[in-house]
Every structure is written in C-alpha cells, then in structure tokens.
Amino acid sequence: MALYLVESVQNGSIKDKDSFERQLASVRKELGERGIDVVEVQVSRDFSRAFYIFEGAERSAINEALRQLGIPVTLIKPVRLVGKELEEVKAQSDSVNYLVEWNLPEGITMEQYLERKKNNSVHYAEVPEVAFTRTYVCEDMTKCLCFYDAPDEAAVKKAREAVKAPIDTITEILPGN
C-alpha cells in the first residue's frame, strides 16, 4: 500500500471546526468502504486548505471518492514518510501546529534529500522551542511538507534556518485533527 498526499482548497465551503469534522467523518467512511485508510488530516487554522495523507492501493480510487464527496483536489501525489513511523502517525501521538511546504530543487534525488536531512537535522537542537515531527516527501521529488510544533511562525523560520532548509509556504494548522 502506498501513501498519498492530497491537498484541497476548501473554497469557503468549510468555515469552522464542526463543519470540517463532519466532512472528515464522511471522508473516513467513504474511503474506508473502499479499503483506503486516512492516516492523518491537517487543516489550516482559517479552514481554507486541508492536507490529507491516505494509505491505499490506487490513487484513482482516492480521487474518485473525494470527487463524489464534493471535495476539491488541487494535488494528489504518492509520498514517503520521513522522521516518524507510520503507526506513530496513525496513533496521532503528537501535536503539530505549523506546516512548511518546500518545493524541492530540480534534479535532487531522494537519496540526496535523505542524506541532507540526516546531516542537517542535528541543528534542530539549536532551536529547542521547536519540535520537528515528520516530513512527507513527494516521490517525484517536487515538494515536501514538514510538520512542526512551535510557539509561533518566527520560531519555525529560525528552525528552518538552523537546518539550512528553505520555506516556500508556512501554514498555521489547527491542532488536534
């Protein structure tokens, strides 16, 4: 089974936590019936964007189920989880409140990315107020999503500088989904 990242722009259809949780219950039910697990879901604090990680055999089944539920899909790609075991993520044992998107430079391989991450991650210790939790790297090496628990956006930027990693977008996400 593969992991898939699905990004969705909510287009104003979701305005609060209750309506998002109702939508998420529908997603879990519909995809569960198709043998697809919802690994994790993060939503921006303003409910404008949602980031889903699914575990399933077929990308097309995920796309079709979300289409039937009326959930707009702006991106769907296979990803690799880095920094945490899948079962830990499924258990939702940690708290995250910031998501950093980084569009990877052209020509970087997965092996190069993983080596770079391994070498630079030791520098997170320089910013103890920030906890890096995990990254999802698109298998086509176009982008990655990095999740953090931090007191504020400035602290996330400081942590990214410490590990020499750029930021294309920072999204404050609603804790506890």
What confidence score (pLDDT) does residue 14 get?
Answer: 84
Query: Is the pLDDT higher at 119 or at 57?
Result: 119
Mean pLDDT, residues 85-98 taken together: 87
Structure tokens at 117: 């991450």
- In terms of domains, do 73 and 135 share one? no
Domain membership flag for residue 177:
no
Same domain as 153, residue 104: yes
> Does the pLDDT value for residue 5 go beyond 90?
yes
Q: Which residues, at least 6 apart from 21, have a Cβ–Cβ distance to it below 8 Å?
A: none
Helices and strands (DSSP H and E) totals, the chain: 5, 8
Lowest-pLDDT choice from 7-21, 32-46, 50-64, 128-142: 7-21
Amino acid of residue 152? D
Residue 50: inside a domain, yes or no? yes
> Do residues 7 and 74 both lie within one domain?
yes
Digit-coded pLDDT (tens) for 18-55: 999 999 999 999 999 999 999 999 999 999 999 999 99
Please tell me the total count of domains within the chain: 2
Inside any domain, residue 64:
yes
Domain co-membership, 28 together with 73: yes
48, 79, 110 — which closes off a domain?
79
Say if 93 falls within a structural domain. no
Judgement on whether residues 43 and 106 belong to the same structural domain of the protein:
no
**Whether residue 75 sits in one domain with residue 10:** yes
pLDDT given at position 177 = 60
Give the residue numbers spanning the domain of 142.
98-172
- Indicate which CATH number applies to the domain containing 20: 3.30.70.100
Quick one: pLDDT at residue 67?
A: 93
Confidence (pLDDT) at 136 = 97
**Which is nearest to 145 in space by CA: 174, 108, 173, 119?**
173
CATH number, position 135: 3.30.70.3090
Q: Which of 6-20, 117-131, 138-152 has the lowest mean pLDDT?
A: 6-20
